[in-house]
Chain A
Amino acid sequence: MADGADKTPLSFQGMILTLHNYWSARGCAILQPYDMRVGAGTFHPATTLRSLGPEPWNVAYVQPSRRPTDGRYGENPNRLQHYYQYQVILKPSPADLQEQYLGSLAAIGIDPLLHDIRFVEDDWESPTLGAWGLGWEVWCDGMEVTQFTYFQQMGGFDCKPVAGELTYGLERLAMYIQNVDNVYDLRFSDAVDDVAAVSYGDVFLENEKQFSKWNFEVADTETLFAGFKAAEAECNRAIDAGVPLAAYDQAIEASHLFNLLQARGVISVQERANYMARVRDLAKGSCKAWIDSQSERWAENYPGWVL
C-alpha cells in the first residue's frame, strides 16, 4: 500500500471517511444519501437534476443502491442486491479531473506503481434517465472500480456545461484494499479498545437473505403494478403542478418498482421496453419541469446562456 505494506488497510467506513475528507478538501459539498430506493447514485436528484443548467455544482455523497435482480441470498461472495456507491459530481468538469480522481485512489491506499490502473473505454447510457456520457470504466488490476463519465445529456437535454461524474463501487474497492475474497468478510469498522470490529456480514448478511427472498419470491406483484401506476400518475400530476422535485421522486419510485417487477419475473421481454420508455418519460418530464422552474433565475444570473 502507499505508505508501506505494514500499515493496516482502511476499514469500509474508513474508506468512506477518507473519500469524504478528500473531496471536501477539493470544495465539494458532502451530501447525505437520498432517502429513497434507487438503482444507482446517478438517480440522486443532486446528480440528475443538478447536472442540468449553468450553475457550478460540486458535491460528493454515498448512495445506497438497490439492484433487486443481483440478489443472491447472501450466498455469492461478489453479488449484492443492496450496495453502496460513492458519487462525485463536479460541474463544470475540471481540467485535472483525472488527476484529482487518481489522487483519491492514492488517498485510500492504492499505489499506482504497484497496481495497474487503466482507463478503459465505456460509454455510459441510462435508458431510464434519457442520459448519456462518454468516459471510461477505471480498472485496477483488471477490476472495474469506478465509472468515470463526462455527462453529455440528462433527461434528453444537453449538459451545458458538462459535469464530470465519478462513481466508485465501494464494496469492490474495499475488498481490493483489504484483500478479501468475500464481501461479507470486509472489515466494516475497526476495533477500538474493547469494542470489536464489525464485519460487512454482521451488518448486511441477514438483509441480503431476507431482501433476496422478498425481491424474488414474496413481493406482491399486484401491489407493485398498482404502485407503478400510482407513481406514474402522481409524477405527472406533480409535473403539471410545477413541483418537479416532487415529480422526480415519483419517477424514482416508478423506476424501482419496475426493477422489482423484473426481479419477480413478471415483465415479459416485449413489455420490458415499454416499461422502460414509461420510466424515461417520467424522468424526462421531471427534468423538463426542473429546467422550466429554474430557467428564469438561470437567465438572470447567466446572461447569454441558452439550453
Chain B
Amino acid sequence: MTDFLLELRSEEIPARMQAGARAELEKLFRAQLAAAGLETGELTIWSTPRRLALIAKGLPEATAAVSEELKGPRSSAPPQALEGFLRKTGLTQDQLEDRDGVWFAVIDKPGRATAEVLAEAIPAIVRGFAWPKSMRWGKASASSESLRWVRPLSGIVAIFGEDLVACEVSGISAGFATRGHRFHCPGEITIGSAADYAEKLRACHVIVDHEERQSIIRDGAAKAAADAGLTLVEDEGLVIENAGLTEWPVPLLGRFDEAFLEVPPEVIQLTARVNQKYFVVNDADGKLANGFVCTANIDAVDGGAEIVAGNRKVLAARLSDARFFWEQDQKKTLAQHAEKLANITFHEKLGTVADKVKRVAKLAEWLASEGVVPNCDPALARQAAELAKADLVTEMVGEFPELQGLMGGYYARAEGLPDAVADAIRDHYKPVGQGDDVPTAPVTVAVALADKLDVFTQFFVLIDEAPTGSKDPFALRRAALGVIATILRNGLRFRLEQVLLKAVEDDLDKFGVVWEGHTEKKLASFFADRLKVQQREAGVRHDLIDAVFALGGEDDLVRLLARVKALQAFMATDDGTNLLAGYKRAANILKQAGETSPSRLREGLGEGMSDGASDETGPPPTPPASGRGEMDPAEAALLAALDTAEPAAAAAVADERFTDAMAALASLRAPIDAFFDGVMVNDPDEAVRAWRLGLLARFRDAVHSVADFSKIEG
C-alpha cells in the first residue's frame, strides 16, 4: 500500500472558486481510479490561492489481475460458430476448454501498475476539470485547442510513494519541484513524498491546509480585536475568503478616524467587507468601533506597521467616498430624489419606477383607509410609499445596492420625517426570504404589502409574466410569499381577491385584461401553492391546505389557515382517521354508483330535495315509499347524527369555530362505521339502494362543509 501526492500549481485561483475546485478534484480523481478498477480510500484535498493538492492514502501497487470467463458455442455446433468465437476472443482452438460439450475461453488480464494508471489519470483530470470560468494563455493559445484552466497552470507534482509519476499536460511535466511562498521563499523546493509535503511547504511559509488557515484567521482576528479591548464582528464568509487569498495569513488590527463613525454603521461594515475584505469590530457597548482587521499574506519585516498604515489609508479613502455620498445625498430631500424615478424604467411594458410608486402609494393608502391594515394612518401610508423608492437614485445606493431601503430610512429620519414613515421606508422590502423579519408596524405593513401586491399583480395579471418552472425572473413567488407571511403574521382579515383586484383595477382596461380568468384559477392556485411552501416549515400538511382550498371561494388566508390547522389537529385523532376512512368508503361507493355530483344525487331523490343543491342543511330525505316500512337502526342513527351535525358544523364554520366544526364531524364517525357494518348499500331493491346512496351523499356533503376530504392523503 502506497500514498500518492498530486499538486496542481497555478497562478492565483479566485478565492470563491477554491471550495468547488476541491470537490471537483476529488470527484475526478475517484472517477478516474474507479474506471481503472482501483479503490480510493481516504483522500485529503487542500487548496491555497496557488495550488490544489490531493493525497490518496494506501493505494495498492497495482490493479488486481482479472480472469474473465466467456462461454462459447457447443462443441457440436457448426465450425462457423467456433470460428466466430475465436475471432471474438482472439484465441486459438487449443486455448479453449471443453466443458461438458461447451467451449469456454478463459482470458487472464494481468493487473496494471498503479503508477501507470495515475500517469494517465492526471492529464485526464486536468483536461476534464470544470471551472466556473476558464481561460487560455501563452504561446499555446494561438491554437483553439490549447488547454483551459482557471488561470495559467504552472506546475505539477505527482509522487507515488517516493517515485515520480511521469506525465505531461500541455507542455507541463510532472516533477518533484514546487514553490513555496511567493515572497518569503521564492525558489524551488523539492518534495520527497506525500508524507513530507505539508511540512516542507510550512517550512517555506505555506500553510497548505485551508482549514488551518481559516482557524488562524478566525482566532487571530478575534485575538487582535480582543487585545485592543474590542470585539470582532464574526463573519465566516470573510474568514473563508481571506483564507482563499493567503498562503500565510497574518491578521492585523488597524484603526480609522473616529469621525467616520457618523456614517451609518451598515455602510462602514459593507465598505470594509465588500471592497477591502476587512472585519469590523465593536466596542464594549456592542456599537461599531473605529477599528478593522485586515489579513496580510506575509510576516512583514516591520511586524506589519506599514501594511496597517497602508490599509488604513485605503479604508479612509473609501470611507471619505461613503461620507461624501452620505452628505451629498442629504442635500436633497427624499421627495426631490424621488423625482428622478421618472427616468428609471421599471419594466418596458409597465412604465417607470415613478409610475409604480404612484400605484403603490394609492394602494397603500387604500389598505389603510379600508381598514385592511388596521390602525394605520392612510396619509402616513401614502407618504411612506411615495418616498420608499427614492433612495434608489441616491449616490449611496448606487454604490451599494444592497443598502436599498436602509438608506432611505436613514435619510427620512435625518430630514425629520415621522418615525413610522422612516421605518416603513427602511423595512418595506421585508420579508425578503423565509426566516426574514416580517413587518408589524402598521404603516410598514401597508407599504410592504402594497409594494409586493403591485409587483405581483402587474406581472402576473396585466402582462402574464407568471413564473414557469424554475423561471421566475421578477421574483413573483417571493413577492407572494412575502404577502402571505405579512398577512398571517399580522392576522390581516380580507378577501385576497378583492385586494388583488384593487391593485390592478385602474389598469385592466389599459391592458385589455379581463379579471375573471385570473382570480378563479391561476391566482388562487398560485397562492395555494405558495401557502403550502410557506407553511411547510411550520409542519402544516400540504394536502390539508388543498382540502380547504378545494372548497373554493375561500381566500381569507387567516381564516383558511385556522381551518387547516383545526383540520390537522382533527386528523391526528382516532376520530379523524376513522372518519376519513368512512368518507373514502362512502366516496368510493358513490363513485361506483356513477354519481359524483351531490346535487344530481339529491335531485334524484325526488320531492323534498329539489332545492337541496343550494341548501346544505335542507330537509332530510325520506325513506322510499316503496320498499320497507321502516328504516334500519343504523340508517336511522346516521340520519339522526346528520340532522344534528350538519347545522352544528355549519354554525361553527360560520362563526370560525373550526375546532367545534371538527367536533361536529367527529360525531358522525360512530354512526358511519355502524352504517357500513349493519347495512348493505347495494340493496337489490333499486329504491332502497337509491335512498342509501342518498344518505351517503348527504354524509359526504356534510363532511365537505368543513373540508374536501377527497384531497386528504392517507
Contacts and interface: CB of A to CB of B under 8 A. Distances in A.
Interface of A: 54, 76-78, 92-95, 98, 102, 111-121, 123, 133-136, 140-143, 150, 152, 158-162, 164, 176, 181, 268-270, 302, 305-306
Given A121-B15, A142-B315, A112 B133 contact: no
B245 A142 contact: no
Contact of B314 (A102, A142, A302): A142
Contact of A113 (B11, B14, B140, B183): B183
Contact of B141 (A92, A121, A176, A269): A92
Contacts of A95: 138, 152, 154
Contact of A150 (B137, B154, B245): B137
Central interface residue in B11, B136, B151, by most chain A CB within 10 Å:
B136
A49 B309 CA distance: 41
Interface in B140-159: 140-144, 150-152, 154
A141 B307 contact: yes
Given A113-B300, A116-B298, A54 B142 contact: yes
A113 B138 contact: no
Contact of A114 (B154, B301, B311, B320): B301
Contacts, number: 122
Nearest to A120: B245
A98 B314 contact: no
B306 A113 contact: no
A114 B12 contact: no
A92 to B, nearest CB: 5
Given A119-B11, A142-B311, A150-B135, A160 B301 contact: no
Contacts of B307: 114-116, 141
B313 interface: yes
5 contacts: A95-B154, A113-B301, A134-B150, A142-B294, A143-B313
A162 B136 CA distance: 7
Central interface residue in B296, B309, B344, B345, by most chain A CB within 10 Å:
B296
B261 to A, nearest CB: 20
Contact of B298 (A102, A112, A306): A112
A95 B14 CA distance: 19
Interface range, B side: 35 or more
Contacts of A134: 133, 135, 150-151
Contacts of A161: 136, 138-142
A117 B183 contact: yes
Nearest to A271: B343
Contacts of A77: 317
A141 B16 contact: no
B142 A92 contact: yes
A142 B139 contact: no
B276 interface: yes
A162 B276 contact: no
Interface in B179-231: 182-184
B94 interface: no
B297 interface: yes
B184 A113 contact: yes
A78 B322 CA distance: 13
Nearest to B324: A76
Contacts of B309: 141
Contacts of A111: 301
Given A115-B307, A136-B12, A160-B144, A152 B49 contact: no
B136 A152 contact: yes
A142 B276 contact: yes
A94 B314 CA distance: 31
A164 B139 CA distance: 11
Interface of B: 11-12, 14-16, 49, 133, 135-144, 150-152, 154, 182-184, 245-246, 276, 278, 294, 296-298, 300-302, 306-307, 309-311, 313-315, 317, 320, 324, 343-345
B315 A305 contact: no
Contacts of A160: 141-144
A78 B317 contact: yes
A305 B344 CA distance: 47
Contacts of B11: 98, 119
B527 to A, nearest CB: 33
B344 A269 contact: yes
Contacts of A93: 137-138, 141, 152
A259 B313 CA distance: 29
A119 B302 CA distance: 22
A142 B324 CA distance: 21
Given A98-B11, A121-B15, A143 B314 contact: yes
Nearest to B344: A269
B133 to A, nearest CB: 6
Contact of B345 (A152, A181, A270, A305): A270
Contacts of B276: 142
Contacts of B311: 141-142
A94 B343 CA distance: 48
Central interface residue in B137, B150, B278, B314, by most chain A CB within 10 Å:
B137
B133 A114 contact: no
Contacts of B302: 114
Given A113-B183, A115-B306, 8 more contacts: A94-B138, A95-B138, A113-B300, A117-B183, A121-B14, A141-B310, A141-B311, A142-B276
A135 B12 CA distance: 9
Contacts of A302: 142
Contacts of A270: 343, 345
A302 B143 CA distance: 12
Contact of B297 (A102, A118, A164, A181): A118
Nearest to A72: B324
B310 A115 contact: yes
Contacts of A133: 135
Contacts of A115: 300, 306-307, 310
Contacts of B12: 119-121, 136
A173 to B, nearest CB: 12
Contacts of B141: 92-93, 159-162
A134 B136 CA distance: 9
A250 to B, nearest CB: 29
Nearest to B306: A114
B323 to A, nearest CB: 12
A118 B14 CA distance: 11
A305 B300 contact: no
A270 B346 CA distance: 10
A164 B182 CA distance: 20
Closest 10 CB pairs of A and B: A141-B310, A121-B14, A119-B12, A142-B311, A161-B142, A162-B141, A112-B183, A161-B141, A116-B296, A142-B314
Contacts of B133: 123, 134
Contacts of A162: 135-138, 141
